[in-house]
């Protein structure tokens, strides 16, 4: 959610989120066509001592890129950020799910619904994979076409139900050892 929010704050019009879960690892990728970062801005963003706390005054600690970097470093994960000013940013993160200090992934339905519901004129594509195999793909613009703006409780509920049905199919596929696209 936080990475997508960064992308939108960077003025992105197209955001691609990839979540790939395997038994032992979780790969998260957020790619955007926002304003990008210079090397200096990126270095500052990764510096845990920099955060000025102005932008998210009421935010809990433990979010943001610096946190993600600390967490991946401390748990044997990997964080790679590719960014070009004026072009966009790719954040690629691999986490060892067996490491005790890696927080649980949480509720994907809620997370995906939340990122689809951010206000603004942008497209968001969510690619959900399991063991590197693509399982389902959600496109915000297509959802909005079908459900209307994702701002009302009713359309958000339908969006969540849609994601739930895909997640259930994925979990079922995992149990049966087969995954249908
Ligand atoms: N996707 C992105 N595109 C451009 N700049 C970004 C992106 N993600 C992060 N940044 C830059 O890195 C800074 C730190 O991000 P973050 O750690 O999420 O903290 P915050 O969003 O509270 O500033 C942002 O303020 C922004 O300048
Ligand atoms: Mg942020």
Q: Which segments of 37-119 does DSSP mark as H helices, in order?
A: 39-45, 64-74, 108-116
Listed by start position, the domains of the chain span: 2-176
The architecture (CATH level 2) of 2-176 comes to 2-Layer Sandwich (3.30)
Chain-centroid distance of CA 62 in Å reads: 16
- Is 37 a pocket residue for ligand 1 (Cβ < 6 Å)? yes
Count CA atoms within 13 Å of residue 5 on its CB side: 9
| pLDDT for the residue 138 | 97
Choose the residue to mutate in 4, 35, 65 for probing ligand 1, maximizing ligand atoms within 8 Å of C-beta.
Answer: 65
Is residue 175 very low, low, confident or very high in pLDDT (cuts 50, 70, 90)? Answer: confident
Indicate the pLDDT class of residue 174, thresholds 50, 70 and 90.
confident
* Residue 49 confidence (pLDDT): 77
Token digits for 20? 């790939």
Q: What pLDDT does 73 receive?
A: 94
**pLDDT tens digits, one per residue of 101-141:** 999 888 999 999 999 999 999 999 999 999 989 999 999 99
Length, in residues, of the chain: 181
26 is written with which tokens?
Answer: 């979780």
Distance 18 CA to ligand 2 centre (A): 18
pLDDT tens digit string along 23-75? Answer: 999 999 999 999 999 999 999 999 877 765 556 555 555 568 998 999 999 99
- Ligand 1 lined by 17 (C-beta under 6 Å): no
Protein residue whose Cα sits closest to atom 16 of ligand 1: 64
Phi, psi for residue 25 in degrees, rounded to 5: -145, 160
**Is the minimum distance from the CB of 43 to ligand 1 under 6 angstroms?**
no
| CA–CA–CA angle 71, 48, 74 (5° rounding) | 20
Between CA 25 and CA 102 the distance in angstroms is 10
- What is the whole-number distance in angstroms between the Cα of residue 7 and the centre of ligand 2? 8
Closest CA to 33 of 92, 91, 90, 88: 88
């Amino acid at each position: 959610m936080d990475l997508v929010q960064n992308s939108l704050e960077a003025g992105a019009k197209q955001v691609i989120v990839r979540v790939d879960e395997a038994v032992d690892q979780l790969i998260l990728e957020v790619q955007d066509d926002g304003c990008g970062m210079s090397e200096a801005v990126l270095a500052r963003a990764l510096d845990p001592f920099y955060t000025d706390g102005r932008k998210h005054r009421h935010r809990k600690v433990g979010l943001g890129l610096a946190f993600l970097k600390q967490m991946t470093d401390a748990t044997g994960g990997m964080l790679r950020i590719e960014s070009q000013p004026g072009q966009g940013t790719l954040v690629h993160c691999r986490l060892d799910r067996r490491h005790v200090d890696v927080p649980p992934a949480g509720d994907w339905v809620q997370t995906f619904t939340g990122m689809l519901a951010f206000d603004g004129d942008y497209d968001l594509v969510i690619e959900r994979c399991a063991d590197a195999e693509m399982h389902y793909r959600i496109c915000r613009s297509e959802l909005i076409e079908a459900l209307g703006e994702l701002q009302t409780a009713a359309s958000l509920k339908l969006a969540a139900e849609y994601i739930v049905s895909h997640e259930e199919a994925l979990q079922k596929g995992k149990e049966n050892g087969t995954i249908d696209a």
